[in-house]
Every structure is written in C-alpha cells, then in structure tokens.
Structure 1
Amino acid sequence: MLNPLSRFFAWPALLLLGALSSMGSLAQAQGASGSSAPELRAKFEQLAPLLKNNAFRRPLVIDSSESSGQVRGDVYAVVEHPFGKVQQALRDPARWCDVMILHPNTKQCEPPLTGQSVLKVAIGKKLEQPAEDAYPLNLSYSLASSAPDYFQVQLRAAQGPLGTSNYRFVVEAVSLPNNRSFIHLSYSYASSMAGHLATKAYLATAGRSKVGFSRTGVDEQGNPVYIGGVRGAVERNAMRYYLAIDACLQALDTPGDQRFERRLERFLASMEQYPRQLHEMDGQTFLDIKRRQHARQRQAGTQVSAN
C-alpha cells in the first residue's frame, strides 16, 4: 500500500498545468469553463508567435496559476489532424480511457457503462502497482458543446484525497485551415490546508530535484534554469497528458489490433524527447508495465476496447 503522502502525489492534482513565465498568466484571461469558437480562434491568433517559436519543438503553449487554494492550468496546442477526426476521438467518453491509461500514474480506467457517464480511474505510483492500492477517481463526463467547427467536453470529480475537491478538466477544440485543429485543455482543482502541507512536504523531499519546462533564468555557465516546485510538477504532468492525447490521435488510422501498441510506443517516444523533465524509468520497464495493465483490463473486460 502507498503511504498517504506518496499516494497524494500520484494523484492527478498535478495534471495538465504549466507556465511560460514570459507570458504572464493566460489562465486569468479565460474562464474555467472554456470558451466559444470565436474566443478560441482569437486565442489561437494571440498565441500564434509562441506556438511557432518555443522550447517544446512543437506548436504548444502551457500556462498555470495558483492562488487562494485554487490551482489551474491551461495547455494550448495545434495538432495536424482535421477537426472532424479530433472531435470524433475526444468527445467519446469511452475513448478517454485510451488517453488516461497512457499516463504513468494511471493504473486502470473503466469507461462508462451504457447510458452512464462516469469514468472510473485508479491513480497510483509510476511503477508497478495493483489498481486496488491506488486512489479511485470517478470522473463525470459531459459534452458541453458540439458544432461543425467547435466542441467542448468536461470531466469532473467533486472530491479528491487529503481535502482536495472540485476537480474540473475541460477540453475544447476548433478547426483550423489545412486540416489542422487547435486544442485547449484546462485543468483546475481546490486544495485544503492538508493538501497544501502535503505538497510542500513532497517538494522539499522526493520532488526536490524535479523541474518543469519554463525557464526562470540561466546559471553561471549559461545553462537554462527550469522552474521547480508545484509549477514544475504541474508542467510535467501537463506535458504527459498532452502527449497522451497526441499519441491517441496519431494512432487512429492504425489497424485496430495494433492501435494500443501504436499509442503506447508513440507516447513513450514523445516523453523521451524531454528526458530532463519526463524520464522516470527505463523505457522497456514502462512498456512492460503498461502492457500488463492492458492485458489485465482486457481479461477483466474493463478496457475500452481490445485494441
């Protein structure tokens, strides 16, 4: 079993967040519920220079904010997929298990039963761990908006561990020219004093050497200094979840019996592009863990599909 502190930091309270210190806070400029198609297109135009020129080597921008017990993060990215393809993949609640299961901390994901809307996710350690020893996260899915050129989905959980609450995960997308799409992911939650103290304790011990993607300066040798602490932690998970979505989109045209392997290998290859932030274990170890998880879920009948 995980001790309470370790289990807390396996929890997705550190997901889908990040920062670009030169930008200020994009999160303050947009409501937690997302936007409309015109607003999202305007955001794309605003971020165009950063999407073209950034440290991620892909068209992506991450921003985060933290104040008064609330934590929020936003990820904006351009993907080389037509809008209809993105909409079909990401507005299907069952398909979100394909995304969630790739994350190293996800031990299991059960898609909603017919006529229901709750994803049952188990979040735990990055290394091998039985799903029953992980934290259960029940995410309620809703399709907030769907149009020919725009959609928005929301995943919510009322309660989390150690006094955290009001988890909200919003994903929206709009069509772009040349068969591309612009995706926005927003993640937010509320933290109690217990959660705040647990965070500080972790970051002062096991998480001390870990960093995010935003540069805060340079050292005496001229090397970049990356943000640490809570913002560093949320940036790492922000990138992991974006890469998981990208891997799922990349695998949509793969034959069904090869799709899981395509998603998994694509996700690992993308994570390894950022070893300073995202390398946690040997790549083969990661693949073996995820393959065993997939096999167990297929056997139990809880996987979204056999692929």
Structure 2
Amino acid sequence: MKPAPPQGKRRFAPGGSAKPWLFVTPVLLALAVVVGYPVVRAVYMSFQKDAGLDKSTGMFTKGGSAGFDNYTHWLLQQCTNSLGETVDCPTGNLGSQFWLAIGVTLFFTVVTVTLEATIGLGMAVIMGKTFKGRALLRAAVLIPWAIPTAVTARLWEFMFQYDGVVNRVLGTHILWTADQWPSRFAVIIADVWKTTPFMALLILAGLQVIPADVYEAAKVDGASAWQRFTQITLPLLKPALLVAVLFRTMDALRMYDLPAILTQSNPNTRTISMLVVDQVRQGPNSASALSVITFFLIFAVAFLLVKVLGANAVRTQEAQREAH
C-alpha cells in the first residue's frame, strides 16, 4: 500500500483536479466586479476632463483627455482655464484646501488612534481580570461602539452646543462646533468615545491567549506588576496591537460621517473623504483623481505599519520561541 504524502508538502500536480478552481473562481469574479472594475474606472476617469462651465471664461468646456492636470490641480494647487493654460486657483477653490484636508485627516488619525490604543489597552487589562460583574462590564463597554455613527455625531452635537451640557458642566462659553481647534477636539472626543471599545475588544482577544502560567512563573521569580506588564503583556500583545492599530488607522483615514454631522461640514474639520464628496458635486473626474490619491495615501500608511510593526512582532515571536 502506497504511503500517504506527509502533511504540509501536498501540492497540486500540473494535471491535477480543477475542482479547487471551481470554488475560487466565483469569489475572484465577484471581487473583479465589485472591487476591480470600480478601481480601474476611477483611475481612467482621473485622466479625463470634467465637462462644464468654466467660471473664469464663461465658456462651456467639453471633456476629453486631461493628462495629469487633475492630479496637479490637487497636489500642486494648480488650475487650468478653457485654453488649457495653468492659472492660479480662485479663492475658495477646493484645490487650495487639499493639503489642509490632508493635515486634518492625519491629525485626527494620529491623535485618535493613539488615545484609543492607550485607553483600549487599559480597558482590556481591566476586563481581562476575574471579578464579580465582569460580564456586565463587557456588555456595557460595547454600547458606544454599537450606536450608529450618525446617531453618535448627533448626540455629541447636542452636548457640544453653545448652551449644551459640556459648556454648562465646564462653565465655559466655547463654540465647540464652529471654532477651529474646539471643533477638532470635539471630533476627537466623540470618535474616541465611540471607537475605543472596538480597540479594547481586539486587545482583549490578544490578552486571552497569553498563558496564565507565564504570569505565575514571573510572580514566583519576584517580578512586580509593572515588570509583568512591560516584560510579558506588552511583548506578547504586539500582534494583536498591530491588528487593532492597523484597522483603526485605515478607518480613521477614511473618516467622513462623524465630522460631517457633528460640525456641519466645518472647513476646519474637513477630512480628505469629505473633500472627495464635495468635489463629486462639481466634477466626477477631478474627484476620481482625489480618490486615487486617497487610496495611495491609505495604502502607504498601511504598508509602513505592517512593515515596521509587523517586523517587530515577528522578531518578538521568534525570540520567544528561541528562549523556550
């Protein structure tokens, strides 16, 4: 009787069965239709001109190839007239607000993800302990995350009104949804309140897989609570933290509904996604170029996170295996 091939070394022969492709092909076709075609179409449209009335000349311009004009319009803040000549963008043009939106988006991303990861880690450590009422606490923590974002934004909008709860409690007279920095802080507070439970759940899942024997051995060796946290919990938690930070970073870079509803599309809180929606109403081709730029921005940030944090997590796991 011919022995079975060892596990982990089985490969499909060149003339093997085609059954695996019967299961994979429908998924590939669905991805090609749902994801592939819109991406390719957006890239194509980004190189086309928007047909419409040129405000600088009052003449109607047709579509056609635009080359990289749509990209230079955003990246270099350059505009073109009906003759194709480069001119200064008029005051208030969305192209002049591109880098402001980039800065606001990155500011929101860095601050919210940092706060959510820090607070979520503390919440996960508390929820991971055994005490009476732990199940009730875990259920209560999920409430902010379960509330729809539009409802959360409207709720905080009421609280941040001039005569709202926040000003009354603090005894201040701040225009939280109108002034530049107060409106940004209002968005950060609302986002941290809503999304921190999501981070806490992901981190809690990572804490659950850490063996209790490791902590008991550390206690026997005389390690303090802080030493156990820094030398055991954090190193073993790096893979889960990477997933949590990566998911939240990509989500924060696409932030739209919370600032749009909370601050009524205040220019001081306009993110890159809000800028895309604003531009769609004026020209879909120029908006497509902005969408492509946004895609590469998110891809670059995600790649750096995986490259840096992922490499650290892999090295940590390899060191742990060698130690054992």
Q: TM-score, normalised by structure 1?
A: 0.27
Structure with the bigger percentage of helix: 2
Instruction: Determine which structure has more spread, i.e. the larger CA radius of gyration.
Output: 2
Structure with the bigger percentage of strand: 1
Q: TM-score, normalised by structure 2?
A: 0.26
